[in-house]
Amino acid sequence: MGPLEKRYVLAVLEARRLAMGPYGQRFEARMADLCGTRHAIAVSSGTAALHLMVRTLDLPPGAAVLTTPFSFVATANVLLYEGLHPRFVDIEPRSYNLDVSRLDAALTPAVRALLAVDVFGMPADWPALTTFAERHGLRLLDDACEGLGAAIGGKRLGCWGEAAAFGFYPNKQITTGEGGCITTDDDMLALRYRSMRNHGRANDYHMEHVRLGYNYRMDELSAAVGCAQLERLPELAARRAQVAEAYATALSSLAEDLILPAAKPGVQHQWFVYVVRLADHFAPGARDLLMERLREHGIQSAPYFPCIHLQPYYRERFGYRPGDFPVAEAVSASTLALPFFPGLTEADVHRVAEALTVLLPSLPRTPYRVFAPS
């Protein structure tokens, strides 16, 4: 938060219009500009954005939606809100995004839509997903909550699929405290999203309710913070990229043991988190041990993500077990998010790298691994 955020928030307090006002409209216009879409509809969270997008699929209860088990739990929860069945498809081990080559095998007559995620700000393979969805007549949605500003071949996230969801929780590329946004080029969908976020009103300022709606509005204070953050996005993104660059340099000598986030040609990645993966020669449990040791060094890290299908609620309800999605599970068990935010200093990065340099050799390795003589 900087002086611009303060100025805009104070302007809201002084103007005393706290909801449905000019900052909300300005925020939406800037989001549409940034993403290159006809419409942007600001809402109260990324989850609210996803929920409205899924509800507007108008699918019958029991219909299935292809999605990834390697995401934040909200991606699948929004399907359950609408009585839909998440049909998980395993991920690709380098980008951590949906493995497009596995989609065909996951198709059943019940599958009617595809909800892909841009994991850690790395765009999913949208050209391939688009072709697949068109070929099989599936509706296509983007959970872009971690990917604001990312693009493929210059085409921004937000305009892939029929609609995209963004989230503005404090850990995202920009924040509004709590908040989210839907972007779409479809006029009819935009109209329905606007109505559904505002109690199903036919017109934002009248008391006629033509459909089942929700209160998913974004308030003016949040929108004011969002306007300032969007103006500062180039600066914030550049800082994140600098921190990522510093990590890449500081960790380059650990390449045997640590798999660093990959770049992809033609893809403009937006840094969301800095997640590293332990190489396969470490024993199961090494990642958790590393996290514990880092904590003893005063360095926070997080397991990111735990698989959705192995969350207690999903296991209990659907009977999922370890082994169901082996790639996602292996990635999930060996990845950890290092401290990462625009204010992280070069010295902080070096402290983390030094701790990792000391700790990695002490981690247990798989005993059966045969090393080629060097």
Ligand X SMILES: *Cc1c(COP(=O)(O)O)cnc(C)c1O
Of the candidates 37, 56, 75, 97, which one interacts with ligand X according to CB under 6 A? 75
Of the candidates 67, 68, 71, 195, which one interacts with ligand X according to CB under 6 A? 71
CB 278 within 8 A of CB 286: yes
Residue 74 found at the interface with ligand X (CB under 6 A): yes
Q: Which residue is nearest to ligand X (CB)?
A: 46
Residue 47 found at the interface with ligand X (CB under 6 A): yes
**Exposed / middle / buried, residue 267 (Cβ in 10 Å: 0-12, 13-18, 19+):** middle
- List Cβ<8 Å contacts ≥24 apart for 291-294: 291/336, 293/355, 293/359, 293/362, 294/352, 294/355, 294/356, 294/359
**Exposed / middle / buried, residue 212 (Cβ in 10 Å: 0-12, 13-18, 19+):** exposed
Residue 45 found at the interface with ligand X (CB under 6 A): yes
Residue 332 found at the interface with ligand X (CB under 6 A): no
Choose the binding region for ligand X from 15-23, 68-76, 205-213, 251-259 (rule: CB under 6 A).
Answer: 68-76
Of the pair 98, 349, the CB lying nearest ligand X is at 98
Q: How far apart are the C-alpha atoms of 7 and 221, rounded to whole Å? A: 11
Residue 341 found at the interface with ligand X (CB under 6 A): no
Of the pair 236, 355, the CB lying nearest ligand X is at 236
HSE-CB for 61 with a 13 A CA cutoff: 4
CB of 217 to ligand X, least distance (A): 14
CB of 173 to ligand X, least distance (A): 11
Residue 149 found at the interface with ligand X (CB under 6 A): no
CB 66 within 8 A of CB 138: yes
Query: Which element (helix H / strand E) includes 140?
Result: strand 139-143
- List Cβ<8 Å contacts ≥24 apart for 100-107: 100/125, 100/128, 100/129, 100/132, 103/66, 103/132, 106/66, 107/66, 107/136
CB of 210 to ligand X, least distance (A): 26
CB 100 within 8 A of CB 68: no
Of the candidates 24, 46, 149, 158, which one interacts with ligand X according to CB under 6 A? 46
Of the candidates 32, 54, 117, 140, which one interacts with ligand X according to CB under 6 A? 117
Of the pair 169, 318, the CB lying nearest ligand X is at 169
Residue 86 found at the interface with ligand X (CB under 6 A): no
Q: How far apart are the C-alpha atoms of 103 and 126, rounded to whole Å? A: 13
Of the pair 54, 74, the CB lying nearest ligand X is at 74
Of the candidates 125, 142, 146, 329, which one interacts with ligand X according to CB under 6 A? 146
Residues 152-181 that bind ligand X (CB under 6 A): 167, 169, 180
The residue ranges that bind ligand X (CB under 6 A) are 45-47, 71-72, 74-75, 117, 143, 145-146, 167, 169, 180
